Structure 1
Amino acid sequence: MDSEGVLIPLIHEHLVMPWNNLRRGDCCGRFEAISDGYYCKTCDFFFHKKCAHESSEYIEHPSHPNHTLQLLSLSTIGRSNRCDLCGRFIADPVFYRCEICDFDVDRYCAKYPPPEVIDISETHHHKLILLKEKIEFNCDAKCGEIGDGFPYKCLECDLSFHVDCVWHPPEVNHPLEVNHSYHPWHPLKLHTGQPPDYSDGTCRLCANDNTIQHFSHKEHYLRLHVNGVLCDDNKRCKACTYPICLQSFYGCLDCDFILHQNCAGFLRMKWHVLHNERLTLVTNKAEVFECYACSRISNGFRYQHEDTTFDVQCGSVSEPFFHPSHPNHPLYNISLIGEFEICNGCKKHRYDVLRCIEDDCNFFLCFKCATLPQVVKHRVDNHPLSLCYGEKASAGVSCVAFFLSS
């Protein structure tokens, strides 16, 4: 048998010989050198016996549950592909593909799919969730490269990472001091040794008198007010233009400049699901603009790239998006060419929507409804009005506002 050629059509086009010399496989490219496999003298190609005999022509994969993946040869498509999960170029001459979605995975990721949730990793200290939608993203790991695939995402920090950067993080040379958009008021210094207790999340330079200097209002200091109930009803946040209501806010000590506490922390640059270029937070213009996502008219802060402008509510939407009206499943923006969906909030036909991708769920939310404030005050009622959904909206609760069809 050792002197006879073997034909394994799913894996290789030529006759191959059983091979017992120690060698690293050219197939999956991830395993250590082993001796048990097959060798093609014509191509100088060696592949593991396991890869040869355990590769099915069709598989179901947890990272792509909607369609079956088919084993294909790179030679049949005539181009080199990257694995949509790990981001590496596929060195193996065969790989798994979904033609419908243009989804490719190498055989290593097909056999060992990345977990959907990672609680702790060397790359990031928060829980990471594997997205189930193919997106273009900027990897926030050391590589810093633009990715086009299925990244891990931190919902708390709005950061995205290549799967391979999470599992094989490159060595990081941290600078001793950085200026970071998450905390624009003070430079952040690298701390080594036993970490101090910062569990309260408070900057020690800001903690003494609850004042900050915001990059949008450098001429004066802003002081934190924990409860918006003390704020004038007519006061509106300069960023989102919504009334302060009951939310904590930063108020200027010398003028009427005011920001919600949450709005003061908006990222200065970010990616958005509706735009392929990175957006910049613009704070120094006062003209009126129309939001690209929801068509609201605003004169507050905006995220902008060239002629594309988002208000800060829509500009802050990222995937997966969680909304209290649909608490059990995350929402994603998957726009189908030429197809409009009916928003479950306003009941209007919308093209750009956030949708639930679970089977038979059929839940859609337009960007305008997705970014409505959860609590507002109204001139005809002395009590705060809470946004309600579905059965809650018809349960006889007093002092509530809810999604209405207009």
Structure 2
Amino acid sequence: MELSKIIPVSKPVCRSSYPDNPHSLCRRFDPPLLVCFSCKGQHLENRRYYYYCATCDLEFHRGCHLFPPEIKHPFHLLHPLTLIFLDPDFQSSRIPIDWPDSSSESDDYDSYEENPGSYEGHIVKCNYCRKYLQPEEFGMAYYHCSTCNFSLHRICAYIRPPLAIENLKCHDHTLTLFPRRVPLPCDACGFSLDTPFFDHVYSCLLCNYMVHRTCIYLPRVIKITRHPHCLSYTSSIVPSCELACGVCRKTVDVNYGSYSCTKGCRYALHSKCATNKKVWDGKDLEGVPEEEEEILEPFLWIDEETIQHFSHDHHHLKLRQDGGSHENKFCEACTLPMTVSDRFYSCIKCEFVLHETCASLPRRKHHPVHKHPLTLFHPSSSNPHKVERKYYRDGFFTCDGCTRNCCGFIYRCSEQDCEFQLDVRCASLPDPSIHDCHPPDHPLFFNFTSGSVMTHHLHFFIQPHHFQLLLHHLHLLPHHLHLL
């Protein structure tokens, strides 16, 4: 995290002055700095100027002027924290280049290679974010209480969350900042409050309720592509039965917050699984009425054997049952050849052909491996600007499911600036599925984290293009959708 994004840009002021009457600092080039008021270090050769307070007669390294020598912090209210530098031989060290000037004036005086110096023998761990102090990431300074052996990264020291939060959607009472991390589960998500990811902890002592700060603002109602209905957040599920999470397939603990179907389906998700950025589109639908999605038919009936397909709307398609007469032709949707047993539609005026099954593919599809709806279209019949994409070259596109080059129909994300797309074969894989190479009581599910099909029980993975072959042998896919 860049410190310049945490510390507001303003005129540099003396840390020794009172906040209601701050003293402005001025740049000084000569004579050299004697002793920095903040870090007690001496002049640095790589710095062409430093800051000086004429009122207090104090000097500051550029960067050190941002940090007071001593602070009081809500994470450690017992004692003040003192600014400490890792390298005791400060003359041979360098102040990190990412320490901002904090001045509204432009700064183009300093340009040098960062040399953090030696840190051997100094192992410091932040008591808040639990990360070791890495000079490359956090710089050389940290705040420390020698009495309690409590330390904070300089960045963590500038993060001051509110002492209390009132959010009645989450909890009936005011939540108070809990300044320490504890190995207890969050009541909203079930994950430990001592987890490595960076978050604050709030509590209600009256209710023995503890929660991550981010979990306070969990959305109340969401919609994901893995389930046809909206899902609502609840603090606990009625323990009528054991439910597996619809994403990770692990058991949903009824004692902690989770998401369940608003229509009463036996479907539930862990809070963190449901709001994962790969699963949820980020929209809170609380107060938004759930409406049935408009169904876009792929074709119009002309008569019992003739249709007008959206991908070939300038000619009509006629149903045929003798695939042998078109054995050298390939389906425009799945790009697989016609066989003797195939039923298919062929254009009455040109060479355009579609398998009967491919002609009935839905125009809009909710696929579990992507958080947005996918729309079916034929690249050659679409407007050129809709086809432009970094993976679409010379009439081929790369399927994000199997990573193979394809030239048939595309299921493509309908959201702006989202480039996810699948060929019709990957988009037609069922979820869940069972096949011969795995025990029948261990179904396979899509795993959005690895781009594979997986089973939770044995962590058994199959790549999509291999899985299609297996499903064909089990007759779970239409004959023409298997890979050759």
Specify the TM-score bucket, using the shorter chain as the normaliser: 0.3 to 0.5
Structure richer in strand, relative to its length: 1
Q: Which has the larger radius of gyration?
A: 2
* TM-score normalised by length of structure 1: 0.44
TM-score normalised by structure 2 residue count:
0.38
